[in-house]
Chains A and B, each alone.
Chain A
């Protein structure tokens, strides 16, 4: 799994790739924790290249989203597809997260 964090137009774009599971979700959590140390952080998570995600990865996203909203920031997902989409459908979290269709949205 790889994590890339870039600041674009004041938005933290966090791009994940590969499998996100118990072995690496703590690394993802660490990245979000650092970003969320700034209040009002605007986060866009790019999941286009994520091939698999388990409940520990999902828990990391939920936790980061809740912290972002609590701090007055934003948290959006981009590129949910394949096995990750299947998991979101099963968890019925499509109304909980905000999805966007482009990087610039």
Chain B
């Protein structure tokens, strides 16, 4: 019998440790590159055991985080770098988790002003951070890094 292994998440760096897979990718701060980041996160989420609906939502949270970086940290400059690192922990019969670190090297946000509350009035805009906080279990902005920000998003899968 011939066994065949197909690795769907091919263009990115992957490393393995016990029960943990770590994936890395970089995109330019160009809105046209957002689809690439979305597919990357969606495939990892599905591979880690999340259902399609949750994988869609995790993908939305990452998309919104990258959109905010493009708009606010790099102020529309499409030539800058966004690094995404995903650590997927998977254990049969137990739970799985995703730790997503999104790193930029642009303008630091004022974390106190990032509320993530749903806007009281229905208005265009202001929903991105609300989506991130609503979807993910933990959201941590680290502006203590030398340049830019490291955003950590955590999502747990309880089986």
Interface of A toward B, CB cutoff 8 Å: 19, 21-23, 52, 54-56, 58-60, 62-63, 66, 82-83, 86-87, 90-93, 96
The answer to whether B128 and A55 touch across the interface, beta carbons within 8 angstroms, is yes
Give Cα distance in the complex from A10 to B49, angstroms: 48
Q: In the complex, what residue of chain B is closest to A18 when comparing beta carbons? A: B35
The A interface, classified by DSSP as helix, strand, loop or mixed, is: helix
Contacts A21-B31, A56-B67 hold; do A96 and B134 have CB atoms under 8 A apart? no
- Assess whether B63 is interfacial by the CB under 8 Å rule: yes
Chain B residues near A63 (CB, 8 Å)?
A: 124
Contacts A21-B34, A55-B64, A90-B57 hold; do A62 and B124 have CB atoms under 8 A apart? yes
The answer to whether B53 and A22 touch across the interface, beta carbons within 8 angstroms, is no
Max chain B C-beta neighbours (<10 A), residue from A54, A60, A92? A54
Interface of B toward A, CB cutoff 8 Å: 30-32, 34-35, 38, 53, 56-57, 59-60, 63-64, 67, 70-71, 118, 122-125, 127-128, 130-131, 134-135
Contacts A54-B64, A56-B67, A59-B127 hold; do A23 and B122 have CB atoms under 8 A apart? no
Give Cα distance in the complex from A59 to B130, angstroms: 13
The B interface, classified by DSSP as helix, strand, loop or mixed, is: helix
The answer to whether A90 and B135 touch across the interface, beta carbons within 8 angstroms, is yes
Contacts A54-B60, A54-B67, A90-B57 hold; do A21 and B131 have CB atoms under 8 A apart? no
The answer to whether B67 and A55 touch across the interface, beta carbons within 8 angstroms, is yes
Chain A residues near B53 (CB, 8 Å)?
A: 86
Q: How far is the CB of B43 from chain A (nearest CB, A)?
A: 14
Give Cα distance in the complex from A45 to B31, angstroms: 23
Q: In the complex, what residue of chain B is closest to A63 when comparing beta carbons? A: B124
Give Cα distance in the complex from A92 to B131, angstroms: 11
Chain B residues near A93 (CB, 8 Å)?
A: 122
Q: In the complex, what residue of chain B is closest to A1 when comparing beta carbons? A: B35
Contacts A86-B57, A96-B122 hold; do A19 and B35 have CB atoms under 8 A apart? yes
